[in-house]
Amino acid sequence: MDEAILDNVKYEAMQIPFLWDLLRTDSIHISNNISIDNLRSLSSYLGKVGNPELGGTGLHEFKRRQELHRVAEIASMKDVPEFINKSKFVYDYNHFVNDAGGSLCELDDPEVFNILAEHSLIMYIKATEEDEQELISRAALDPKPFYFREKFLDEQLAIYMSENELEYVALIDPDDFVRRVFPQLFYARIPRYEAITKKYGYTITTRQLAEVKNENDFLDLIEQVLS
């Protein structure tokens, strides 16, 4: 995924003759600064569907990037056993936390969950009603790119365009679409999380997690859940 992001940035730079000349002559260099705490470059690449003049991406290109994201997330989840080994033998870490993205439940790849269940403890963090509303409010205030299953995306696009009497996807306000669709996305994912948990894992609530202040609190919570 990192290479895909860089390729897209370089492609955009090629559209500006001044930047393209600097790149072509190795006068400047573009590198990805993605990290655990900063995923902005990934989000920027994923983008939001809609009007290009408002920062949106065309539907065909948007779906292509969505598929790249899905494939990359599947691959990264299947790499978890190797990451666990590296964390132990290279860095001498005794514990490995896989803070998977919210789109994990959308992958529809049983092998992913078999691998995760075999090598880790799958824990679903269930939001309280208050926290659900807080998450929805945050998404409305600062619309961010999300991964959508294609069927879900097509359904929501049809609804949005009908309600707003839009003939083309290119007329959609990208931020407004995200604001409108996020609550539906949020609640559509809950049954998927619950189905995964029922078969493979355990559930804790955001209220329980908020009480965790240190490593011992976290381990005590896990012990409580398992018992």
Q: How far apart are CA 121 and CA 226, in angstroms?
A: 10
Domain ranges (residues) in the chain = 1-32, 35-226
Name the residue with tokens 């569907």: 49
How many other C-beta atoms are found inside a 10 Å radius of the C-beta of residue 49?
A: 26
Residues 188, 143, 102, 46, Cα dihedral to 10°: 110
Q: What pTM, to 2 d.p., does this model score?
A: 0.81
What are the b/e assignments for 102-119, b being 16+ CB within 10 Å?
Answer: ebbbbbeeeebbebbeee
Note the pLDDT tens digit of each residue in 146-203: 999 999 999 999 999 999 999 999 999 999 999 999 999 999 999 999 999 999 999 9
